[in-house]
Amino acid sequence: MAYALQQLINGVALGMIYGLIAVGYTMVYGIIGMINFAHGDIFMVGAFISLISFVLISMGGWTAGPGAILLVLLVSMAITALYGWSVERVAYRPLRGSFRLAPLISAIGMSIVLQNYVQVAQGARVKPIEAIITGNLEIWHGNGFAVSISTMQAVIVVVTLAVLAIFTWLVTRTALGRAMRACEQDRKMAGLLGIDTDRTISITFVIGAALASVAGTMYLLRYGVIDFYIGFLAGVKAFTAAVLGGIGSLPGAVLGGLLIGLIETFWSAYFSVEYKDVATFAILVITLIFMPTGLLGRAEVEKV
């Protein structure tokens, strides 16, 4: 029981990271009906920007305390948001009126460009960082096994919930959120009603990239090592989370991320760790066989 509880805590922390990335996928799909396959690499770029920021802080002789971590997070969000905006302007906007496969191919190409750009700029070797947030709290002890939650895991949960709460308020309570929801329902009609659809779509990419940068910073602080290839696998799993939860549904993206994190963690704990990814995608396939729109997704209504 104690061991299972510990894996539950580990799975929730990992799932929160996947959920943050998955929100970016589902936002872009919801507003333009296309998948941004460069989004995983935006997450990777955010992690590298955070790493570089922490290195600069240490070189300046500053202590990496809460204020420094908040500063790094804000810098990473701002710079990564520029990358998200660039992806939309370069890979999507020129091809928005083309056949549906063209933006998909363009996004895959942008993913490869970002991977190779970071590989050339930062090198192919893994980049470690010393633990910045340490300590843990023992919450239960049973059968000779101590259940604890690390400070870093608590920070991941708190930061993720805070960011998602702010984003939910933005979408549901502001003029920008109303514009985003209008574009999701009918982009052409939204344009006729005076909404700047191009600007709204660009801001959607920017917000999605900023959320991915938060996930990248949390990943760096949690695992302490990154490389130029982390965006591919994390992106695929986050996309899987978005589909599992229901592509286009923001609560579904978070739910899917949590489920993917829990599946990975429990499978690694009780079965062969080499097959954790196989288990994840197998459960996705089974879910979609019986629930093609995902857990919280809505069936598409064709407009005539």
Q: pLDDT digit string (tens) for 101-122?
A: 888 888 889 999 999 999 999 9
Q: How far separated are the first and last CA of the chain, in Å rounded?
A: 54
Please report the pLDDT score of residue 276 as a whole number.
85
Q: List the domain boundaries for the chain.
A: 2-229
- With beta carbons less than 8 A apart as the criterion, state whether 279 and 237 touch: no
Dump pLDDT digits (tens) for 62-97.
776 788 888 999 999 999 999 999 999 988 888 877
Distance CA 189, CA 200 (A): 14
Provide the sign of the torsion angle of the four alpha carbons 175, 177, 181, 186, taken in this order. positive
Angle at 212 between CA 265 and CA 202, to 5 degrees: 150
Q: Is 294 left (phi over 0), alpha (psi -120 to 50) or beta?
A: left
In degrees rounded to 5, what are phi and psi of residue 145?
A: -125, 125
Distance CA 12, CA 304 (A): 42
Task: Identify the band that residue 233 occupies on the pLDDT scale cut at 50, 70 and 90.
Answer: confident
